[in-house]
Structure 1
Amino acid sequence: MTRLLFLVALLVGCAPADPSVSDVPVVTAAYTGDTACASCHEDQYASFQSHGMANSFYAMHPERVIEDFPGPAVYHEESDFYYRAFREGDRFFQEEYRLDDRGTQTHRLVRPITHVVGSAQAARTYVSHVNGRYFELPLTWYAQEGIWDFSPGYAEANQRFDRKVTARCMACHTDAPPRAQGLDDVFGAQPAAISCERCHGPGSEHVAARRAVPNPPEGGDPTLVRLASLSMDRRLDVCQQCHLNGAVVTYPDGKDPYSFRPGDALSDHQVLYAAAHDQGFSVVSHADRLKQSACFLESLSTQRPLECTTCHDPHDGFRDQGPAYFDATCQSCHTGVAQEVAPELQGAHQEAVGCVDCHMSRREVENAPHSTFTDHFIRASAPVEESVSGQNVEGVVLQPLEGEASAGEEALAYLTYGFGRGDMDAIARGLILAESERDWFLQEENSEAALTWGKALLLAGRQGAVEPMRAAARADTTDAERLHGVARALEADGDFDTALSFYERALTYTPGSVRILSDYGNLLQRLSRLGEAEEAYRKAIAEEPWDAASHNGLAVTLMAAGRLDESIAAARDAVALNPDYVDGLTNLGTALARSGQLEESLEVLRKASLLGYEQGNLAPVLNLGLVALQTGNHEEAVNMIGRVVVANPDNTDMRVLLARAFIGKGDPISAMAQLNAGLRANPGHPAATALKEELESRN
Structure 2
Amino acid sequence: MTPNSIKEKKDTLVYLNHSDTAKYIGMNTCRQCHQSIYNTFIETGMGKSFDVASRKKSFGDFISASIYDRIANLQYRAYWNKDSLFIKEFRLSKKDTTHTRTEKVNYIIGSGQHTNSHMYSVNGYVHQMPMTYYTQKKHWDLPPGFENGVNTRFSRKIGLECMSCHNAYPEFVKGSENKFTRLPNGIDCERCHGPGSIHVAQRSTGSKVDTSKYIDYSIVNPAKLSIDAQFDICQRCHLQGNAVLKEGKSFYDFKPGQKLSDFISVFLPKYKNADDEFIMASHADRLKQSACFIKSYEKVKDNRSLKPYKEALTCVTCHNPHVSVKQTNKNVFNDACTNCHSNASEINNVHNELKNNELKNCVSCHMPASGSTDIPHVSVHDHYIRKPITKKEKDKIKTFIGLFSINEKNPDNLTKANAYIDQYSKFEQSASYLDSAIFFLKSIPGNKKTLSSFIQIYFIQQKYTELIALIKNQGEQVCDSVFSKDSYDNKDAWAAYRIGEAFSNTNDNTNALRWFKKAAKLAPYNLDFRNKLGSSLAAESMLKESIEQFEFILNENPKFVSAYSNLGYIKLLQGFPAEALRLYKVGEKLDPDNEALLLNLAAYYLNTKERLLAKKYLEEVIRVNPKNKKALAAIQQLNSL
Give the drift of 1:93. Answer: 1.3
Letter of the 2:14 partner, please give it: V
Tell me, yes or no, if the aligned pair for 2:266 and 2:405 is still in contact at 8 Å. Answer: yes
Aligned-pair Cα RMSD in Å: 3.0
1:48 and 2:41 correspond: yes
Aligned to 2:283: 286
Q: Which amino acid aligns with 2:181?
A: G
The residue identity in structure 2 corresponding to 1:458 is F
Distance change >3 Å, CA 472–CA 139, structure 1 → 2: farther
- How many angstroms apart in 1 are the aligned matches of 2:484 and 2:43? 43
Alignment partner for residue 400 of structure 1, among 378, 390, 405? 405
- Secondary structure in 2 matching 1:175: coil
Bigger Cα displacement from structure 2, 50-59 vs 169-178: 169-178
2: CA distance, partners of 1:351 / 1:397: 38
Using the alignment, how far apart are the partners of 1:190 and 1:523 within structure 2?
A: 35
- Mean Cα displacement is larger for which, 352-361 or 276-285? 276-285
- Partners of 2:608 and 2:354 lie apart in 1 by 86
C-alpha change, 1:495 and 1:485, in structure 2 (3 Å) is farther
Pairwise CA distance, 1:216? 3.2
Residues 431 and 457, structure 1, Cα contact 8 Å, conserved in 2: no
TM-score normalised by the chain length of structure 1? 0.79
On the 8 A contact 2:496/2:518 being kept in 1, the answer is no
Query: Does the C-alpha gap of structure 1 residues 274 and 63 become closer, same or farther in structure 2, counting only changes over 3 Å?
Result: closer
- Shift of residue 427 of structure 1? 6.2
1:313 to 316, 320, 323: 320
Q: Point out where structure 2 has 5 or more consecutive residues left out of the alignment.
A: 1-9, 301-308
Give 1:23's match in structure 2, choosing from 13, 30, 54. Answer: 13
1:379 corresponds to which of 386, 392, 396: 386
Query: Where does residue 485 of structure 2 map in the other structure?
Result: 477
Larger mean CA deviation between 458-467 and 226-235 belongs to: 458-467
Structure 1 residues 109 and 482, CA gap change in structure 2 (3 angstroms): same
Question: Equivalent of 2:424, from 402, 418, 422?
Answer: 418
Which residue of structure 2 lines up, in the alignment, with residue 547 of structure 1?
Answer: 560
Q: Given that residues 408 and 441 in structure 1 are in contact (C-alpha distance below 8 angstroms), is that contact kept between their aligned partners in structure 2?
A: no
Name 2:95's counterpart in structure 1. Answer: 103
| Residue in 2 that maps onto 1:584 | 597
Residue 118 of structure 2 corresponds to residue 126 of structure 1: yes
Q: How far apart, CA to CA, are the structure 1 residues paired with 2:496 and 2:81? A: 47
Q: Distance in 1 between matches of 2:479 and 2:184?
A: 33
Judged with a 3 Å threshold, the aligned counterparts in structure 2 of structure 1 residues 244 and 383 are, in CA distance, closer, same or farther, namely: farther
Letter in 2 for 1:485: A
Equivalent-residue separation in structure 2 for 1:550 and 1:130 (angstroms) = 15
In our comparison, the structure showing a higher alpha carbon Rg is 1
Distance 1:457 1:233 in 2: 38
Q: Give how far 1:24 is off.
A: 3.1
1:96 Cα deviation from its structure 2 partner? 1.5
1:560 aligns with 2:560: no
CA drift at 1:372: 0.7
Of stretches 262-271 and 21-30 in structure 1, the one that deviates more from structure 2 is 21-30
Q: 1:492 aligns with which of 502, 510, 523?
A: 502
Show the 5 A alignment for 1:299-338: 299-300=296-297, 301=299, 304-338=311-345
Check whether the contact 1:360–1:374 (CA below 8 A) recurs between aligned residues: yes
Structure 1 residues 42 and 313 mapped into 2: Cα distance closer, same or farther (>3 Å)?
same
Partner residue in 2 for 1:262:
256
TM-score normalised to the size of structure 2? 0.86
Matched, 1:454 2:444: no
Q: 1:240 to 1:537 in 2, by over 3 A?
A: same
Letter in 2 for 1:415: I
Instruction: Check the 8 A contact 1:122/1:143 in 2, yes or no.
Output: yes
- Does the 8 Å CA contact 2:483/2:495 hold for their aligned counterparts? no
Aligned residue in 2 for 1:76: 69
Deviates more, 1:454-463 or 1:558-567: 454-463
The equivalent position to 2:223 in structure 1, one of 206, 228, 239, is: 228
What SS does the aligned partner of 2:371 have? strand
Q: Is the 2:236–2:260 Cα contact (8 Å) retained in structure 1?
A: yes
Distance 1:95 1:625 in 2: 36
* 3-state secondary structure, aligned to 1:54: coil
1:622 equivalenced with 2:617 (yes/no): no
Distance in 2 separating the partners of 1:620 and 1:143: 44
2:104 is aligned to 112
Q: Distance in 2 between matches of 1:491 and 1:298?
A: 53
Deviations 1:117-138 (A, max 9, x none): 1111111111111221221112
Change (3 A) 1:488 1:286: closer
SS of match in other structure, 1:295: helix
Gap change, CA 1:609 and 1:293, over 3 Å in 2: closer
Give me the whole-angstrom Cα distance separating, in 2, the residues matched to 1:584 and 1:56. 38
Instruction: Determine the structure 2 residue equivalent to 1:142.
Output: 134
Matched, 1:370 2:377: yes
Question: Is the contact made by 2:287 and 2:384 (CA closer than 8 Å) also made in structure 1?
Answer: yes
Read off the aligned partner of 1:489 and give its amino acid letter: I
Q: 2-side partners of 1:235 and 1:188: how far apart? A: 31
CA distance in 1, matches of 2:590, 2:353: 64
Structure 1 pair 270/352, CA: closer, same or farther in 2 (3 Å)?
same
Secondary structure of 1:134's counterpart equals strand
Distance 1:250 1:334, change over 3 A: same
Distance 1:503 1:420, change over 3 A: same
Contact 1:361/1:374 (CA < 8 Å) preserved in 2? yes
Task: Provide the secondary structure at the position in 2 that maps to 1:587.
Answer: helix
In structure 1, list runs of 5 or more residues that go unmatched: 1-19, 629-635, 638-660, 662-699
Contact 1:609/1:618, CA 8 A, preserved across alignment: no
Runs of 4+ in 1 over 6 A off after TM superposition: 349-352, 385-388, 393-396
C-alpha separation between the residues in 2 aligned to 1:21 and 1:169? 28
For 1:515, what is the secondary structure of its paired residue? helix
Which amino acid is the alignment partner of residue 133 of structure 1?
A: Y
How far 1:174 sits from its partner (Å)?
0.8
Query: What CA distance in whole angstroms lies between the structure 1 residues aligned with 2:293 and 2:430?
Result: 39
User: 2:493, 2:520 within 8 Å by CA — same for their partners in 1?
Assistant: no
Change (3 A) 1:496 1:316: same
The residue that corresponds to 1:593 in the other structure is: 606
- The Cα of 1:307 is off from its aligned counterpart by 0.5
SS at match of 2:130: strand
Q: Is the 8 A contact 1:24 1:225 kept in 2?
A: no
Q: Structure 1 CA distance, aligned partners of 2:589 and 2:509?
A: 32
Is contact 1:93-1:110 (8 Å) kept? yes
1:94 has 2:87 as partner: yes
Indicate the SS of the match to 2:36.
helix
| Equivalent position SS for 2:202 | helix
Equivalent residues of 2:456, 2:498 under 8 A apart: no
Deviations 1:388-436 (A, max 9, x none): 9xx9x99894333353455543332221112113626356436644773
1:84 deviation in Å?
1.7
Matches within 5 A, 1:204-243: 204-216=197-209, 219-243=214-238
Return the letter of the residue paired with 1:200.
H
Secondary structure of 2:376's match?
strand
Tell me whether 592-601 or 578-587 shows the greater mean CA deviation: 592-601
Could you list the per-position Cα deviations for residues 608-651 of structure 1 after superposition, in whole angstroms to 9, with x for gaps in the alignment?
24544x23x3122334455x2xxxxxxx13xxxxxxxxxxxxxx
**Farther-moved stretch of structure 1 (588-597 vs 274-283):** 274-283
| Separation of aligned partners in 1, 2:593 and 2:432 | 28
Query: 1:436 aligned to 2:429?
Result: no
Alignment check: 8 A CA contact 1:548 1:574 kept: yes
Instruction: Classify 1:546/1:383 alpha carbon distance in 2 versus 1 (closer, same or farther; 3 Å).
Output: farther
CA distance in 2, matches of 1:487, 1:363: 43
Q: Equivalents in 1 of 2:380, 2:219: separation in Å?
A: 33
Contact 1:289/1:377, CA 8 A, preserved across alignment: yes
d(CA) in 2 for partners of 1:202 and 1:123? 29
Greater shift, 594-603 or 146-155, is seen at 594-603
Q: Could you tell me how far 1:441 is from its partner in structure 2?
A: 5.8
Deviates more, 1:339-348 or 1:158-167: 339-348
